Structure 1
Amino acid sequence: MPERPLNVTYMETIVHMGTHVDAPRHFYIDGPGMDEIPLERMIGEGVVIRLEKAVNEEIGVDDLAAAKPRIEPGDIVAIDTGWSGRWGTPEWNRHPYLSLEAAQWLVDQKVKLVAVDTATPDLPHDLRPKDFQFPVHCVLLKDGVLISEQIANLHKFGGRRVEFLFCPLSIEGCDGAPARVLARTLS
């Protein structure tokens, strides 16, 4: 700093660490990368639903259908399981997860993005068979429903309609990107 009046930070990262957004290219080679996803897909109204679940417990269609506020077409759906508070603990990778039927239900509801406070909406590591292929990711991304993982502070908005801003880095051709996620309660 004394020789030059500026700082320059070098950054190297895996784009699927910390809070991030998955692009369809994450599982589909011909799917759009982060730079090809219109901003309208990452901003807008949605809901934060609170679902109290235990270690390795499934989130099913009935859980989503009964959620308040009701999930509407075009919504961004954030699922608050309370798991973000377990970051850094042995339980972190034994999180609640979406059933395949629940993922398809979200597609059928025409949501545009699903956000979770866990490492993934798919099965936790301990429950995965040897030939695990991330079926929840595939169902959602195949139909253009974006995924955001490792969201913090959802408890502040639980049970409310909110306006979301998912702000991932627009990395050319990339399968995902670190993101800043902002939300505010709608009046």
Structure 2
Amino acid sequence: MEPSQPWIDITVTTQPGMVVWPGDPPVSLQRVRRIDDGDHANVSHIAMSVHTGTHMDGLNHFVNGAAGIDAMPLEAVVGPARVIAIEDPHSITIAELAPHKLQRAERLLFKTRNSARPWFDEPFWTDYVAIPQETAQYLVDCGVQTVGVDYLSIGRYQGDGVETHQIMLGAGIWVIEGLYLAAVEPGLYEFIALPIKLKDSDGAPCRAILRPLTSQ
């Protein structure tokens, strides 16, 4: 039996000062008890948006009354996933996806120019590569179950970002945002991305990892 390939962590590190969506609260991580101060244990307090860093959207993020993140089926985020490299510097287009012959119930992660730089340590970009609404509908029509992107939103900052979310979440596609795919080559992977189980939440931080299923 061949040894397993190592896991690749595609999660960004959550920390104070990291980029957040405009208008969202900054990350606060404070030590409230310290062994050095005579306490029996170190204890920290964290405050941030559930859409910070690497995270998942509940379907109710843009669809009122839809399922929260705690209702997400584990099958959406555990199993084979395909990483597809996107060359277009602006958008994830139907023309670029069509040759990949997307399959029903696929888990797809899109690697774009966003991953060429450590975006999480830089000021917010407004020109990140995103999914326009026509591509969102194409993904729905293909029947994919999970989509991951390498910036803080599947939708564009200006334009049809709301519509992209409404189309995909409204169709039950589970969305992972804020991945970092710099060390990942296109191909097929074993995939795990487990969000914190927050009751009825519109999102939650998650830890996302990949391991090659075949030689890349």
* TM-score of the two chains, using structure 2 as the length reference: 0.75
Matches within 5 A, 1:64-103: 64-67=97-100, 70-84=101-115, 85=117, 87=119, 88-89=121-122, 92-103=125-136
- Is the 1:44–1:164 contact (alpha carbons within 8 Å) kept by the matching residues of 2? yes
The equivalent of 1:114 in structure 2 is: 147
Partner AA of 2:107 in structure 1 = I
The equivalent of 1:62 in structure 2 is: 95
Partner AA of 2:104 in structure 1 = P
Establish whether residue 178 from structure 1 lines up as the match of residue 205 from structure 2: yes
- Is the 1:86–1:92 contact (alpha carbons within 8 Å) kept by the matching residues of 2? no
Match of 1:146 among 174, 189, 192: 174
Alpha-carbon distance in structure 1 between the residues aligned to 2:149 and 2:77: 14
- Is the 2:133–2:161 contact (alpha carbons within 8 Å) kept by the matching residues of 1? no
Cα displacement string for residues 24-54 of structure 1 (whole angstroms, at most 9, x for unaligned residues): 0101221111111121222111110111232
Deviation (angstroms), 1:8: 1.3
The equivalent of 1:156 in structure 2 is: 183
Deviation (angstroms), 1:74: 1.5
The equivalent of 2:162 in structure 1 is: 134
Structure with higher Rg: it is 2
- Is the 1:23–1:175 contact (alpha carbons within 8 Å) kept by the matching residues of 2? yes
- Is the 1:83–1:92 contact (alpha carbons within 8 Å) kept by the matching residues of 2? no
Partner AA of 1:66 in structure 2 = P
Structure 1 vs Structure 2 CA RMSD: 1.8
Deviation (angstroms), 1:158: 2.6
- Is the 1:45–1:164 contact (alpha carbons within 8 Å) kept by the matching residues of 2? yes
- Is the 1:119–1:149 contact (alpha carbons within 8 Å) kept by the matching residues of 2? yes
> Cα 1:110–1:147, aligned 2, differ >3 Å: closer, same or farther?
same
The equivalent of 1:23 in structure 2 is: 58
- Is the 2:132–2:161 contact (alpha carbons within 8 Å) kept by the matching residues of 1? no
The equivalent of 2:21 in structure 1 is: none
Deviation (angstroms), 1:80: 0.3
Name stretches of at least 5 consecutive residues in structure 2 with no aligned partner: 1-34
The equivalent of 1:169 in structure 2 is: 196
- Is the 2:91–2:130 contact (alpha carbons within 8 Å) kept by the matching residues of 1? yes
Alpha-carbon distance in structure 1 between the residues aligned to 2:107 and 2:202: 20
Partner AA of 2:140 in structure 1 = V
Deviation (angstroms), 1:90: 5.6
Partner AA of 1:149 in structure 2 = E
Name stretches of at least 5 consecutive residues in structure 1 with no aligned partner: none
Q: Secondary structure at the residue paired with 2:44?
A: coil
Partner AA of 1:34 in structure 2 = I
Higher deviation after alignment, 4-13 or 43-52: 4-13
Alpha-carbon distance in structure 2 between the residues aligned to 1:18 and 1:66: 31
Deviation (angstroms), 1:15: 0.5
Establish whether residue 105 from structure 1 lines up as the match of residue 138 from structure 2: yes
